[in-house]
Structure 1
Amino acid sequence: MKSVIRHITVNCAPPLEPYTLAEFWSATLGHPIHPDDTPGDDEVLIELPDSPGLLFIRVPDPKSPTTRNRLHLDLQPEQPRDEEVTRLLTLGATFVDDQRTEDGRGWVVLADPAGNEFCVERSDAERTTP
């Protein structure tokens, strides 16, 4: 017997609505919000093919600004990392930290509109370029 991960759950505290945060991640990942979900819902789902879904749920308490996430997502974009960082900032992400190294390795730390940190790594093409 075993268990599988069905959802990765992201808490959404006021004033941010689950649907609003799901819209950011939907645009980021290029996958739609579940058609049954609407603005004002307490739970909003983005189903991802061959992966756990992202489930955004309403909670009463905000994330502490002094605590780091215990879990975060690492994104590997299809386009070059720097172009993806620019795109995500345009969508509403905020810059947190730059961990890129001179040799092109490393990552950029961003936060979604709720303050949840995530990393943007190099694209596959950037990883295979000498």
Structure 2
Amino acid sequence: MTSRLEWATIDSVDPRRLAEFWCGVLGYVVYEDKNGTVVEIGPDPEAPGAERLADLRRGPAVPSMSFVQVPEGKNSKNRVHFEIAPIDSDQRTELDRLLALGASTVDVGQGEGRSWVVLADPEGNEFCLARSLAPGEFEL
């Protein structure tokens, strides 16, 4: 028997704002918004890729994300972070898109010449933009 990753919960000063940012990043939709203090987002089951989503759900889980309001802001480097990869554009195009959504680049000591870019969401939570998975962008 095994378990599956069902959702990730993220403490947030402004859950709705952070949920909207991550909806833009991942193409997710808001499932539930309890007065802006708890916001859950996930894949849109009605999206054109619903069959693909169903296929993904038969394999590894496509987790949702939950944002919970807390009074204090983030004050140190994350112990866990997300790795995201573009699926329909090159890495530079996706980086520009994420920056326009409100991400910022950050230095956590990663050094120069890495194949990934370290970013932070609007509340400072670090995540990495990995190489593109778009057709023609990388080889196995």
**Normalised by the size of structure 2, how large is the TM-score?**
0.75
- Runs of 4+ in structure 1 off by over 6 angstroms are none
Change over 3 Å in CA distance of 1:80–1:99 after alignment to 2: farther
1:110 correspondence with 2:119: yes
Q: Is the 8 A contact 1:10 1:54 kept in 2?
A: yes
Distance between the aligned counterparts of 1:96 and 1:69, measured in 2? 12
2:37: which partner in 1? 42
Q: Equivalent pairs: percent with the same residue?
A: 40
Alignment of 1:10-21 (within 5 A): 10-13=10-13, 17-21=14-18
TM-score (normalizing by structure 1): 0.80
Deviations 1:16-53 (A, max 9, x none): x101110000011111111x426x42110112353111
Going from structure 1 to structure 2, the CA distance change for 1:85 and 1:100 (only over 3 Å counts) comes to farther
Q: Which residue of 1 aligns with 2:47?
A: none
Match of 2:137 in 1: 126
- 2:81 is matched with which residue? 72
What is the CA RMSD across the aligned residues, in angstroms?
2.1
- Structure 1 equivalent of residue 102 of structure 2: 92
Structure 2: segments with no counterpart, 5+ residues: 44-52
1:54-113, Cα deviation, whole Å (9 max, x unpaired): 11110122211xx21001000010210011011100111111147663xxx610011000
Higher mean C-alpha displacement, 82-91 vs 46-55: 46-55
User: Gaps spanning 5+ residues in structure 1: where?
Assistant: none
Q: 1:37 to 1:83 in 2, by over 3 A?
A: same
What's the offset of the Cα at 1:5?
Answer: 2.3
Per the alignment, residue 49 of structure 2 pairs with none
Specify the SS of the correspondent of 2:20: helix
Q: What's the secondary structure of 1:89's corresponding residue? A: helix
1:30 aligns with 2:30: no
Distance 1:27 1:33 in 2: 11
Question: For residue 8 of structure 1, what is the aligned residue in structure 2?
Answer: 8
